[in-house]
Structure 1
């Protein structure tokens, strides 16, 4: 059944109650590779309760009630699609203030746009989370639905963010543990594509692939640690397009171009943005994340 764009856009927003504890944050951080090396003070701020800094990408799993709120889009009126045709195309998070290690919030989700790409449709799910002190974050999740285009709708924006034509200021290699996907899935995304070899083979992959949002978190952490001196509170927004897959056991190479470049060791440098790419080293840096930008203050 085709997507009824008008009905999906007119549907009332859905509200979901979210709650999380430091344990949820710790598990998420371990799931994206924090804590290596285990005695490094710069790593301990991600894995010990008494000094816990929360990476903004935790917002994609906070509350463990449908990662990034994807279920709210696929269950919206006017959206009746084959789940095997759905791909997570892109993700953006805007932070209104640093995320607390423990909290409770209300997330309001709605289909904000439906674009016609010809052979596919793109659903944009907008989720806004707020607690008793006010807004926490706004996220846009883009879902690419194969075979649902051609309904005569707007094609929508496709603004690429090309890597600058110069050598990156920073390059960080992050090894993906063989069991990384098994650990990350405990934060809420239990899709068998990331754990079951037989299911992955049916989907056309040689073995289970890492979650796109896991790569998303790994890349953000690398940029925060490398460019922003580990200060998670400086991140204002983070957007990325999922350009390909990385397999557990491979190495993610993250190339970073800060604009402008913060002064070394300065925690008070002015704002700017970081253009970033990520690729799988063992496969000639096959693209994993593209059109990726972190805005910081």
Structure 2
């Protein structure tokens, strides 16, 4: 079933209500590889109930609508969809447990032309279920490679953050376990692209790839330890562009350029000389 710009803008994605616990907060961190060094005090604060703090990027898996392009009969060719970018803005620090409501909508569609795909911008807000206080605003950019020519708003994409033209101030390397994509999907992202070799091959990959949001989470671990000086509550916004897939079992390097408000960053797979996240930006509280 094909779709149109008008159909996507009218698509109704049901609200999602969910309760999460400290155990879920710890599992999210563990699914990213936190806690591999039992003597790392920064990681320990993310995976152990004593002084537990939530990784801000955990917001992307809370009250998750699932793989909505497929589950809501959007008409998009979901096998050809890749995650192009993600922004997470925290209006207050994420609690380590709570009950929340997620409300999502298609905010914009930019058509790149027949055979060139479309960009779909999906906005999602998380609210405290008891007070209706807005906790987090997120925007997911989907590159729908099989849907060009459907029409769009005529808007232009926002220019990405620029990486400084100088050597990075800091670099952090973290290994991605061979099971990371399978573990990460248990947070709620059940796209079979990250588990089923047959689906991955239909999408043009020789094997399942790591979730882009998982790659973003690994970068968040590096940023918490460096830019945030071990305190995840200082992170107020993070924005990334996904430029290439990472595969489970690889090592990711996060290069960081510090500035007055936070930092710019880029994530690569050194052994393949491939950038997997570019034009990254993190803002922190002083």
Q: Does 2:282 match 1:294?
A: yes
Partner Cα distance (1:220, 1:82) in 2: 30
**Structure 1 residues without counterparts, runs of 5 or longer:** 261-271
Q: What is the CA distance between 1:152 and its match in structure 2?
A: 4.5
Query: Could you say which residue in structure 2 is the equivalent of 1:255?
Result: 255
| SS of equivalent residue, structure 1 residue 50 | coil
1:7, distance to aligned residue in structure 2 (A): 3.7
The number of residue pairs the alignment matches comes to 280
CA RMSD of aligned residues (A): 2.0
User: 1:90: which partner in 2?
Assistant: 85
2:226 counterpart SS class = helix
Give the 3 Å change call, closer, same or farther, for CA 80–207 of structure 1 in structure 2. closer
TM-score after normalising by structure 2: 0.90
Note if contact 1:18-1:65 (Cα within 8 Å) is conserved in structure 2: no
Q: Is the 8 A contact 2:5 2:151 kept in 1?
A: no
Instruction: Give the deviation of 1:224 after TM superposition.
Output: 1.3
Matched with 2:123 is: 126
8 Å contact from structure 2 (residues 267, 275) kept in 1: yes
Distance 2:63 2:268 in 1: 29
The alignment partner of 1:293 has SS state of strand
1:206/1:227 CA distance change after superposition, 3 Å: same
Q: Structure 1 pair 8/206, CA: closer, same or farther in 2 (3 Å)? A: closer
Q: Does the 8 Å contact 2:16/2:63 carry over to 1? A: no
1:116 aligns with 2:74: no
Are residues 1:81 and 2:70 paired? no
Aligned mates of 2:44, 2:64 — CA distance in 1:
24
- Rounded to whole Å, the distance in 2 between the matches of 1:256 and 1:194 is 27
Q: Which moved more, 1:204-213 or 1:162-171?
A: 204-213
Displacement of 1:124 in angstroms is: 0.9
> Is 1:277 matched with 2:274?
no
Q: Cα distance, 1:130 vs. partner? A: 0.8
3-state secondary structure, aligned to 2:181 = helix
What's the CA shift for 1:190? 3.0
Q: Which moved more, 1:175-184 or 1:88-97?
A: 175-184
Query: What residue in structure 2 maps to residue 242 of structure 1?
Result: 242
1:1-16 map, 5 Å = 1-11=1-11, 14-16=14-16
Tell me if structure 1 keeps the 8 A contact 2:112–2:119. yes
2:97 counterpart residue number? 102
Structure 1 match to 2:219: 219
Please tell me whether the aligned partners of residues 80 and 203 of structure 2 are also in contact (alpha carbons under 8 angstroms). Answer: no
After TM superposition, the score normalised by the length of structure 1 is 0.87
Displacement after TM superposition at 1:106 (Å): 1.4
1:16-165 to 2 correspondence within 5 Å?
16-66=16-66, 70-71=67-68, 79-118=74-113, 119-131=116-128, 132-133=130-131, 134-153=133-152, 154-165=154-165
Match of 1:53, SS state, is coil
